[in-house]
Amino acid sequence: MKIKYHFNTETIEIEVSEEWGEILVELDRQEYNINHKETRRHTSLDAMKYEGEIFASNTNIAAEYIRTQENETLLKAIDSLLPQQKELVRRVYFNNESLASIAREEGVSKMAITNRMKKIHEKLKKILS
């Protein structure tokens, strides 16, 4: 049996036994099927639609990365605060509690809570700069 191999610059034909010829033909068929299946599986997400929505995102990846890094830096800075200061930051910025309600609950003036927040801001500013 003769088998042809095509290269960029030439074609080579070799003589092999029937048994080896069948094996080589089968391997070529399997390789073709695998390559064909691979090309069908790879599709650009920009071109795909899923339930009417385009997968492609308009998100600026670099800006998102920078924002994530800044958030991580801020969280590390907050971790360096005293436990009472962390609690006050959590209540004011994450729980959206008013300074007046915190002051009433703790039995102090609103100005006292405002002063604590100023100290926290100064400490965070110092850590972050």
The Cα–Cα gap between 18 and 15 comes to 9
**Residue 111 belongs to what H/E stretch?**
helix 110-128
Instruction: Count CA atoms closer than 13 A to 96's CA, side-chain side.
Output: 0
> Domain boundaries in the chain?
2-41, 61-128
By residue count, the chain amounts to: 129
CATH class of 61-128: mainly alpha
Q: Is the pTM of the predicted complex or chain greater than 0.85? A: no
Spell out the per-residue pLDDT of the chain, length 129, in tens: 888 888 888 998 888 898 988 898 899 899 888 877 765 566 665 555 555 555 556 677 888 888 899 989 999 999 999 999 999 999 999 899 999 999 999 999 999 999 999 999 999 999 888
